[in-house]
Amino acid sequence: MLSLLSVPFERIEVDLLKREHKQPGFLSKNALGQVPVIEDGEVYLSDSNAILVYLALRYDPFGRWLPREPLAAAHVQRWLSLAAGELVRGPGDLRRAALLKAPIDRAAAERTTQDLLTLLETTLSGQAFLVGSDPTLADVALYSYTALAPEGGVSLEPFPALRAWHARVESLPGFLAAHRVKPREPGRIAEP
């Protein structure tokens, strides 16, 4: 989002397998030890969607990414809720299971993924972006786990409108590719 807003930033990688997110220095920024976290001056903020809303309200004076019109803002919020729920419990869980060998309820994750991708396909069959003709935070929030779904064994072949939307998001000025994770090597489990 920072890149899309043309805001300079420094990206700092946190090695979750080495449990860097559970060290005192990181916990002082986010007591829950979760990523991502941003630092903006004296502000420390966690949670992907909270960060997106903060950045849009702080650095997008024209309201392009988070519309100020009530109905459009509500539509963005609906997609942000799906990003925090179904996106994480569907494609996100399948990806974590494949890459990190995380235990999941595979059947539930596959059903959730199919339902979400079908909803996205239907929505994007009639419009360029999730909330109409212009990109919003909704597109940013839903992009990564859907674009990375194949890493969790999910084929995007049956979803041409979704794949075309990925291409539209990727063509936005300032777009940065989704972060790819290498599969965990057997035996590399960090101890608490």
- Structural domain contains residue 64: no
- Structural domain contains residue 37: no
- Rounded CA-CA distance 50/168 in Å is 24
Q: Give residue 102's Cα distance to chain centre.
A: 19
- Structural domain contains residue 92: yes
- Structural domain contains residue 19: no
- Rounded CA-CA distance 80/78 in Å is 5
CATH number at residue 125: 1.20.1050.10
Q: Which of 79-93, 141-155, 168-182 has the lowest mean pLDDT?
A: 168-182
Mean of per-residue pLDDT scores for the chain = 90
Give residue for tokens 């839903």: 142
Domain count, the chain: 1
Residues 82-106, mean pLDDT to the nearest whole number = 93
Residue 144 has pLDDT above 50, yes or no: yes
The one-character DSSP state at 150 is G
Three-class secondary structure of residue 45 per DSSP: strand
- Structural domain contains residue 23: no
Q: Who contacts 172 (Cβ-Cβ below 8 Å, separation ≥6)? A: 4, 135
- Structural domain contains residue 65: no
For residue 81, give its domain range. 70-170
Q: Give residue 64's Cα distance to chain centre.
A: 19
Can you give the pLDDT at residue 172?
97
Residues 75-95, mean pLDDT to the nearest whole number = 95
pLDDT digits 0-9 by tens, 43-78: 999 999 999 999 999 999 999 999 999 999 999 999
